[in-house]
Structure 1
Amino acid sequence: MLADAMEEKVLEPTHLKGARWLPSIHKAIQILCNSYAIFVAHFEDQVSPERTPRPSPAVMGRAKNIPHYLKSHTNVQFMHFLLDTLDFLKALSLQFQQDSLTPGEAVQDIEACPIGFTELCLEPGEQQRKMVADAMNGTYRGVELKQNTTTDTLATDRKTITDMLAKSIESRLGDLLSTESIVQTFSALDQNWTTQMSPKKPLSSMDEHILSPRATITRASWCVRGHSH
């Protein structure tokens, strides 16, 4: 209803049980970025005094906190940086799901991913650059942002995160680049590797420092689907 009132098109995340797959995460972040104004309006509507029926206390709690993150200029930049990063990871993930994938093709795909990360480390990606340009006047898609800036604020985070991802890929798939063991080479082609990049063990302190505040951004896309029915 909000999308219709705002004359905006919005897509909802689907197949939530498959959200550990990188293409599914990429799709969720893409929807969040493309429908940003609708997401903000949705959560603001949840806490509106005029809204009836009133949402549950749990929903109200989320609805009050999530817009705080979504209206931060730095966090909106991070959303789009995440989309730039997931463009490379999605492509690698989809390649490794191909039944016809050969070791030679896999090596090329693995080597291409860190090159993309290096580019993101040196300068913002396409999505982040576009977002910064669109928010030059302090608003983004009609939403007034907090901590407004006209510059890239993620230089340090981009390096830390892309280095961490490159090391994770090297740790998991580095055997494929080695000529020492044929067994190791083919074990790297296990199609479950993309889910293993989201470990069930607790994040390190560095990972928590970087990702936990911004995890609210990702969860926002799932919340909208749950509240829209």
Structure 2
Amino acid sequence: MTKTIRGFGSVAAAGVVFAALLSGCGSQGADRGPDVGSISLPLAADAPSGARYRLRDATFEISNGYYYYEDENTSAMAVTGGGYGTVVTVSSEDQDPDASSILVDLEQGGYGVRLLPGWHFEKVEDGTVTDPNVEATLLSRQTVYVYVSPHSTTWAEYAFGIGSSELWLNGKVNLGVSVYEDPDDYYYGGNVTSGGPGGAGGADYSSGYSSAGVGGSGGY
């Protein structure tokens, strides 16, 4: 099911599609223009134990290169470039509760994707919800920045801490790639044990904003 939503600026419409499984490149729909690509918002990840963690009550604000501000002289709202004005808001609860991701079609350009407060995780084992409210902490920033290229899909990635593990919402749980035994190791640097199979592309948060990374090689 596709939902058409009007946006600001040059973004005329955004189609929101829930998909159970997405590849790295988006398919070309009949209604896509020549400069349309996609942002994928992952909603679930599988742990090595077989448990599945699903992000619930998650609301994402996707914004383009415009923002609204109040004119001090007129007290009116105006729009200008260089910031981020809301284009579309999507929710994990809009359709299929078992969806693994949300695919949003947008015109080519840079966007900010903000995860609003109020989200939580649920744990699913053997198809049954065993914990409807898993304790989790958002380790990355609320807003990640992505660039949409024509006829391709860009992933918005977030990092969460669930228990003693770090959960990356890029479709995989990268356990065995990074193991933190002490909070100081994560926040201040320290000894990190590496191993396990190569992870998917990560995100760089060190410079104050997020950017997509390249998948890692196998561990040892």
TM-score, structure 2 normalization: 0.28
More strand by share: 2
User: Which structure has greater helix proportion?
Assistant: 1
Larger radius of gyration: 1
Length-normalised TM-score, structure 1: 0.27
